[in-house]
Amino acid sequence: MMALVLSLLLALATGIGPEDFDRPEALAIVHLFALGWLAQVMLGALVQFVPVLAARPLAFSRLALPALLTSSFGTLALAGGFLSLDGYDIARPFFLLGPVALGLSFAMLAVMILSTLITRQTLRLPEVRMVIVALAGLAGLWLSGAAMVSTLTGSRLAVDISQALPLHMLFGIGGFLTFAACGVSYKLFAMFLLAPEAASWQRRAVFALAALMAGLMMTGLVMLAGAGSVAPLLIGVCGISLAGCALYLDDVRRLWRARRRPTPELNMSCSRVALAFLALSVLLLPFAIWQGGALARASVFAALVGWLSTLTLAQMIRITAFLTWIQIFAPLIGRRKVPVVQSLTHPRRAGPALTIWSLSAGIGTLSLATGFHAGFRLALCGLLIAATQILCELVAIRCLSHLAPPERPARLPPLILPSLMNPPHSAENQI
């Protein structure tokens, strides 16, 4: 969340407009947003969620903190390193250090996630396979990114940036973040909607298409090293994205219709908005690939801000409440009356913030598509206001501010969530 607020503040402070995304400071901010906010939160969610997917404890859980610290350092180093392209030579060593630290962090996280996920039983599940394909996407993201940093720093290992950049963005947004979000969302949506979890033919087809798309992009990576053109592969990726997105949305619609929770909660209502942005970004993808420019920027913005960030923010509020509930009230189950998880949240406060976020994401996408500078700046203001409100709401949840005073423990939990591997606080001592 800090990276999210910081990247929005910097975007406003540096005066970035729709035409400025080639500027080094814009590249720094985009990486702060994509890596510091989205990739970190997705990897954190995977670490938290793969034990649920695999129904076994997280392997090598001691690596979680070093991975988080290394990843944070790598993101800051890379973001700072981009400034060396603007003539700040002092930032140049950081430009090279960033990918090294990020690679180390991704490797640690991959070891934790794969060691937990890969068993004979779990590999049958399409959602588990999706997460594994997403990790392949993360590897592709890193390799293409590291190759471009190597090129920009004048190393002998150089690639054609115009070929590498679309591949890098497709690896990051599609191959890693979207595949991981889809894999996790199948289980998460079924849990929150109280819908049957059974794998459908659509889910198996989405996995097959995701694997095919990852294979095509990996081929593109090899062609990049051989100085070949990746354009034909991008057309294939585009077609697969359209088909995969349609099947995924149809599968989620099936879950929604089969739900046993009569009134979906705020996190699920907002997830529907996020899914609409997914459809929009994928529909813009053919134009992005063939025309580039404004429509490419709009497609990327719709995906990063509208789809992935809206989904993450909506679920983050709910999951923070759930983890806080476990920490405080789980030891009291069966011993005394306990509040429900929903009572830790305040939908009338979180709802408007998520609405402002979604509207701003829409205005931002439209402004980028049309090159409307003032509209884009307005969207950034809206996003910052919404992110700040959501951050305040997360603090309120951790402080149990929405609970009636008699239900609150005498001692509040720490603001930063501890690992669930540690035993929860003894609530009997607190209430």
How far apart are the C-alpha atoms of 14 and 76, rounded to whole Å? 17
CB of 42 to other proteins, least distance (A): 19
Q: Which of 41, 214, 216, 338 binds other proteins (CB under 8 A)?
A: 338
CB 261 within 8 A of CB 193: yes
Candidates 120, 156, 260, 348: give the one binding other proteins (CB under 8 A): 260
CB of 283 to other proteins, least distance (A): 33
Comparison of 371 and 424: residue with beta carbon closer to other proteins = 424
Smallest gap from residue 208 Cβ to other proteins (A): 25
Distance between CA 245 and CA 379 in Å, rounded? 26
- Interaction pattern, residues 391-410, with other proteins; x per rule: CB under 8 A: --------------------
Which tokens is 23 given?
């500027």
Contact between 333 and other proteins by CB under 8 A: the answer reads: yes
What is the distance between the alpha carbons of residues 263 and 269, in angstroms, rounded to a whole number?
9
Residues 6+ positions from 296 with CB-CB distance below 8 Å: 287, 288, 289
Binding of other proteins at residue 328 (CB under 8 A)? no
Our finding on whether 23 is near other proteins (CB under 8 A) is no
H helix or E strand, kind and range, residue 50: helix 40-54
Complex with other proteins: residue 284 or 338, whichever CB lies closer = 338
Sites for other proteins among residues 190-209 (CB under 8 A): 191, 194-197
x/- contact string, 136-175, with other proteins (CB under 8 A)? ----------------------------------------
Min dist. Cβ of residue 54 to other proteins (A): 7
End-to-end alpha carbon distance in the chain: 30
Token look-up 């949840």 returns 397
Selected from 87, 226, 334, 405, the binder of other proteins by CB under 8 A is 334
> Judged by CB under 8 A, which stretch of 77-85, 124-132, 175-183, 337-345 contacts other proteins?
337-345
Residue whose token pair is 């588990």: 128
Q: How many residues bind other proteins (CB under 8 A)?
A: 35
CB 67 within 8 A of CB 202: no
Q: How far is the CB of 129 from other proteins (least distance, A)?
A: 17
Dist. CA 122–CA 50, nearest whole Å: 11
Applying CB under 8 A, among 23, 56, 92, 204 the residue interacting with other proteins is 56
Cβ contacts of 224-227, under 8 Å, gap ≥ 24: 224/144, 224/147, 224/159, 224/160, 224/163, 224/164, 224/167, 225/147, 225/159, 227/159, 227/160
CB atoms within 10 A of CB 202: 19
| Residue 331 interacting with other proteins (CB under 8 A) | yes
CB 142 within 8 A of CB 106: yes
- Smallest separation (angstroms) from other proteins to the CB of 347: 15
Member of 100, 322, 373, 385 binding other proteins (CB under 8 A): 322
Which stretches within 170-302 are classed as H helix? 179-193, 201-225, 231-257, 266-291, 293-301
Contact pick of 33, 248, 329, 376 for other proteins (by CB under 8 A): 329
54 binds other proteins (CB under 8 A): yes
Identity of the residue, 325 or 372, whose beta carbon is nearer to other proteins in the bound complex: 325
Give the footprint of other proteins on this chain (CB under 8 A). Answer: 51-56, 187, 191, 194-197, 258-262, 322, 325-326, 329-335, 337-342, 420, 424
